[in-house]
A and B are shown apart, each in its own frame.
Chain A
Amino acid sequence: MHDELRRRRSRLLSLPAIIVVAVVTQAPILATLGLSLVRWIVVRPDLGITFIGLDNYADIFTSRDFYEVVLNTVVITVASLAICTVLGILFGLMLNRDFPGVNIVRTLIISPFFVMDAVAGIVWRTIILNSSFGWNGYFATLFGVKPFDFFGVHSLLTIVILIVWQWTPFFVLIILAGFQNIEPEIMDSARVDGTGWLRELLFIRLPVIMNHIEVAVLLGLIFVLKVFGLIFVTTRGGPGYSSSNLPYYVYRTAFLGWDVGHAAAVAVVTVVVTLLAIMALFRWFRRRVTEAA
């Protein structure tokens, strides 16, 4: 009886949120599904809107560009998340002490997170990495070498760098919180045993904060998969498609080609791919945690 009451109340508590989220996100998803089955090119109203079934999806899976974009997305995501985790741990260790100005240092390190990614992109692109008059060009002339081609051959690397710069603060905050929550007895007993700091880090601290790392990586995955503004402002997905990820590919189809149907199909595929990735990661983490326990 008591349980039933609890359940009813829980359902009531959840209802408003379910309604809001459903209206705002599910309705568009359904609409996107519907749009993915039509041919609608906004700039060609003379061609009208016609139902074409799964043709958009057929186009996607037979286009070489799509697979390049998927590969890019995988590379960007895996590389960014890995580097962010490592940097998050490093910075977390650094900030987990008490020294003069620790608050300022912490603010400096997390500040990239507060900047709009469109602005961050422009600042990096023109003032830092530009080969003619950015710091890149400046140092190149200083050392007498050809400036590094950040936006040509190495555009994917540049995108990873920018994403890492922007999202490491997020990881730092969560991991630092984890470090600060480690009960002092664990640390004291490790010190008594005489373990070196590296082993202490790897075998004692990290497993304890695994929960935090999981939250950071899963949330980070969701956000990094959606990155758009950075790419839009710096490399425009290029050269070719070499630095396009799935959201940027959607943009190019939707707002340059104005092929709304095709873009919707890519969007649906993006969601499915992301869902699978999240589920896989989720399960991997669950297994690690139960193994460690």
Chain B
Amino acid sequence: MSRGSRALRRAPGIALIWLAAILWCFPLLYMLITSFKGEADVLPPSLWIAHPTLENYATVLQHEIVRYILDSAVISVTAVAACLVFGVPVAYALVFGGLRNSDNLYFWFLSTTLLPPVAVIVPVFLLFRVTGLLDTLGGMILIYTGVNVPIVIWMTRSFLLDVPREILESSDMDGSSRLRSFFSIILPLARQGIVSTGLLVFIFVWNEFFFSINLTYVNAAPVPVYMASFMTQQGLFWAKLCAISTLVVLPPMILGWLAQRSLVKGLTMGAVKG
């Protein structure tokens, strides 16, 4: 079968996939379109932008947004780093550490993620108030780390489970220390998995709304707090909300785009055969 005719046969299938993807993503695409409309043109809906304008972005990109973005960036990146630093060793210990009750420990970590933030906000608020962590970057980093480390543990553990034991045992026999084999053998294999886990945690922390509104005031307010100020009940705000939503979605999306291959490949192990 010639290349050309095979491509032609695949064309309707590919078109269908493209259509499905665009329909699926339509609310976001439309959000992007709306961000370029004037407020008066937002409703009723139409795909056509009658008077394209950048005024929404201008309103949203006032100098003060820099402070929120900076806070969000510091909090997210530090939290991700902390989660990995704390969590990956635990996953290693669970898989290779020979602990007798590793399942129980694993389960305990998992169970701590079951609590919805709504439920603990009052105790956490009081705790933060008493320890002076309210409205501080450190406080936000602390809570996001505590909440997301179990996720890192879970995902890293499942990647490490896929590492064939033989590799480790052969390096053991070579006499290299466990630490060296971790860094030289296991880490490269699990690298993509760890990258994708880190990205996942970044998205969770970047988008987190409830804790950031309740535990910050002016000093450590991340981007979701700034976004909330556009969700007003009086007056038209949808175009501006779409503009800032588009901006806020960009960092996770760019990271996701860049790390795409890692994201997909990393959620499994490489094709290392025993």
Contact = CB atoms under 8 A, between A and B. Distances in A.
Contacts of A275: 111, 114
Contacts of A100: 14
Contact of A6 (B14, B97, B150, B266): B97
Contacts of B150: 21
Interface string B83-112: 000110110111011111000010001111
A88 interface: no
A102 to B, nearest CB: 9
Contacts of A122: 231, 238, 241
A50 interface: no
Interface stretch (B52-60, B62-70, B183-191, B256-264): B256-264
Given A6-B97, A17-B153, A21-B149, A127 B45 contact: yes
A266 B116 CA distance: 11
B142 A24 contact: yes
Given A28-B123, A28-B124, A17 B149 contact: yes
Contacts of A106: 260, 264
Interface in A96-155: 99-101, 103, 105-120, 122-124, 126-128, 133-135, 137-138
Given A20-B142, A94-B20, A111 B127 contact: no
Contacts of B256: 107, 110, 114
A29 B93 contact: no
A84 interface: no
A108 B22 contact: yes
Nearest to A103: B260
A235 to B, nearest CB: 16
A111 B266 CA distance: 18
A32 B253 contact: no
A115 B28 contact: yes
Contacts of A112: 24-25, 27-28
B264 A173 contact: yes
A270 B117 CA distance: 12
A76 interface: no
Which of A9, A215, A263, A275 has the most B CB atoms < 10 Å from its CB? A9
Given A13-B92, A28-B120, A177-B265, A222 B113 contact: yes
Contacts of A37: none
A243 to B, nearest CB: 16
A127 B30 contact: yes
Interface stretch (A52-60, A187-195, A196-204, A244-252): A244-252
A263 B123 CA distance: 12
B203 A114 contact: yes
A250 B86 contact: no
Contacts of B21: 105, 108-109
A228 B210 contact: yes
Interface residues of B, number: 91
B260 A114 contact: no
B81 to A, nearest CB: 13
Contact of A250 (B116, B154, B227, B241): B116
A99 B12 CA distance: 12
Given A20-B142, A117-B209, A181 B269 contact: yes
A71 B253 CA distance: 35
B37 to A, nearest CB: 11
Interface in A22-42: 23-29, 31-32, 35
Interface of B: 10, 14, 17-18, 20-22, 24-25, 27-28, 30-31, 34, 42-45, 82, 86-87, 89-90, 92-94, 96-100, 105, 109-124, 126-127, 142-143, 145-147, 149-151, 153-155, 158, 178, 196, 203, 207, 209-210, 224, 227-228, 231, 238, 241-242, 245, 248-249, 252-253, 256-257, 260, 263-269, 271
26 contacts: A6-B178, A10-B94, A10-B97, A10-B99, A20-B82, A20-B142, A31-B123, A32-B115, A94-B20, A107-B260, A108-B21, A111-B25, A111-B249, A111-B253, A112-B28, A119-B227, A119-B248, A123-B27, A135-B45, A173-B267, A177-B265, A226-B114, A250-B118, A270-B114, A271-B114, A278-B111
Which 6 residue pairs of A and B lie closest in terms of their CB atoms, listed nearest first? A24-B146, A10-B97, A267-B119, A31-B123, A177-B267, A10-B93
